[in-house]
Structure 1
């Protein structure tokens, strides 16, 4: 809700009582109040256990006039509370520990239906408070991560479920099959409202979305889109005499009215003063009619009592339509609900709220007038007020330091005081600089002031200029100096932007990182944290699912790179160890160079080597062999011209001449030849 003290609040079907879930100290509190003081007064208050944190509440009207309230909890159970007895009647437990997000009592099945964050739907018998059946929506709906809202309608004579995640699904209860899917919202759905007098129509709205869609059950199409001025928090539909009105609470706490939303003939064009976004233009181009509100109602204090921005705009936390009146509720003193009734149609059937209106409400006097008013005791000396409560963890010891400083000042002498007053100016300047640096006054490179201004004033354009900065140092310094309460608001704004444009995650991840690091302790202590950050959690889960695949791919690439490096290293080692074994394109033959030097062959002449033998070497050997043969032939010829000696003569010659004598005779012959 827009108010931080209110978790959720709803009127009962008879428009007699208002049930609210409030944050009271460290527990959640349930309060039920009567709308009219003239009726039988019912002002009850019930405190839950610390382990029970409420996510939503819903009225259960059955068994005659008896009414109960179903309280859905974060721990995965449902408490059935009776305002008449101010006690817990029963507790409905599930096998899962996922947070229960919605509970709906169906008049078609006479049973209760609940849905949780894990995508499960449960049917309960409220007579015996036992579980009837369990449906796992993810078994037949692929893209449904969690079920945020649930309702029932009659389609073709059979009861069907309307299940809201980001889209809307029509599920047959008997066959457990998906019948139709309706185009949904970008954000998680926060309201499904079937039209009472027309079973073919129903309305939906989403968290952080300005659009309210009117669907046709049979055609599975969007008939009309209602565009509010701010994101929608709650919706209500009223009918009377073939006239209807759609009432919306926006994020700013104002009430917006759309006159006759179910009639296509009386639809009016958009007001020129209201800016039309790109999404609404797309819807218009697609043939879907869009409408802007005819009236905006704002609650405020009188001008003489306005002392803060909260006084100029009182936050409306719940609405309902009782016949011809619109009933709105707001909180006073942070825990007491006050009501205002406005007529939306007159006796002649004309709409009375056709323009913007400001309702002035003075601050009420909350002094005790009777013993049991609002549960206060008249004997108490002072009333407890949630609005003025200041909670501390007991770690603040500033008063102890102040007492010590006062004691030291009493012990100081007059000379010490004069020395402090007339001390060195340089030391004073240095101390002033250090003080400023501690306070952050001299610290540069921060955008804290601009960021805080944009968050307080809800200035989206100014916030975008701050978020466009990507310097990690500037982001860290800015978040470090930011107020923790504004850090929670900034986290919601970042979550909205990431859900709308997932491509901006890389730009905004530094902001998310430092918010969690610096202000994580404060954020974790907030109630309903899982609900507020469910959209951001789903996006982070999707991105985290891709991490194992990326790591696997990284490991494979690393292995390929290492194998490639290893091959290169092995080849380089082989080349370095055996350089002689490397084959060369040019082979050196020593015999060819010798033949070229002797002039036997010419330079550049090809010499063929066959079967490992050189032709030049073979030719030399053949020439030597032929020369030997020629000499032998000459010797033979000489021997043929001389007389033939007998064997005896040869023997005699060998006996008469020795080797020395033959040599001498040969020398004599050489001399004679000369």
Structure 2
């Protein structure tokens, strides 16, 4: 999170992880302002820098200018860089944006630096962009190389510019040429601070810190000195987050480095141009803890940033991103570790809430007499010990179970919504078949309304499988699908994959509609055939009877069961007459054949 103190140390600004700008007053230890850009979700703020913008105040009327000058107000502004190449100027006096400058590029603004209220220098990807605040446009832009710029610093005279990636380049602002290159960091440099011990431009230094090294490197900006190696290096226990420098009257430099672990390292060193062979260790390390309430155990409190008020006074900011506390402390140079014990802010707020919402129970004596509906207010002859006995009738009533109430309050074991949720989670086919094969329309609607929205997609997939089945499963699936679409139409329409989501179901429905016409024709023919069969007259019962019945009397005695045939309606006498007539005819034919001979005479043939 980008954070910075103002030049006078009055304000502290920070960009949160949500893209909001928060400003605190360090003198009064109060939260002043909070600003959320309209486009903080699509193009959040990436960096900030305090400037004293007189250019912004020029837009006002002359009367307002004179009034502000008479009141002695300084229009302190915060320049904000965004990820889509815009520069926002936020006024602390107005509590709103002054104006927005667009670079007409989509390059992210990663760092900002300025010494006047007219020009602001920024690093956008691999380019350097110069913003003109008075004209509210981009003054110039040039390419700084192939590496992305993570930090930028303009010297106090405004003639030289420092840009940092893994290496640090010193530029001439007018000619836009590289004067020197400093190399030595193994990761991108994110921190640059200018040091001028003797107020001489020829004796100037820059301190750099990267996001992967636990060393702060100091480089000499003098043109006559070779810049390949660092003049001094300062040892830290973690990566640097914030850096503050104070120069004494004698030329010695004091440096407060806030690291990622939440402590502040204090260094005291005099830069005289000579190279230091060993890394410089901190003189003092400041840390803040809170009492955890247990023996030999403390909770550390994270220090966000620190800034010098004077040579021996340091303003520290500690707490969390939500609650920040500012305090001026005196540096103890004779202590190696300066540990400060402070009360935890979160525990303090909780204790206050408990005090406000605390409920005290009134103290009641033993001589209190409780009245109930079963007891009267008449005094009892027995000794009153403060406890009222419940009558036996009331106890028996409490033991009795009211069937109506119990049946109404006991939850149903076969609750359709619960079974459906369980079946969708476990993919149990038996449970899903039990629930989905119910034809009650009202039950289906209530079940769909009660299932969570996260189970709409699994339910739709199961219904698609039912639609692809046979007649009964297709009918059940279409009923559930119709009610699902009617109830959750808004949720289904918000799905971006709606076409693929309904693909299989629509294909099955279209296939069923294609077969609807032949199916209707077949049903019509079947209905005609069934109607014709129902209207045909019934045949007589004797058509199904046997014509002859023959009883075999010569069968053996062992065979007791004979074959029985049903007799015809005609009598046995008629059947015997027909048999006799047939026999006579046969005898006549035999006699005629016997009397016929070869001569054709009627004499009988000899045997």
Q: TM-score, normalised by structure 1?
A: 0.45
Bigger relative contact order (CA 8 A; separation at least 6): 1
Which one has a bigger Cα radius of gyration? 2
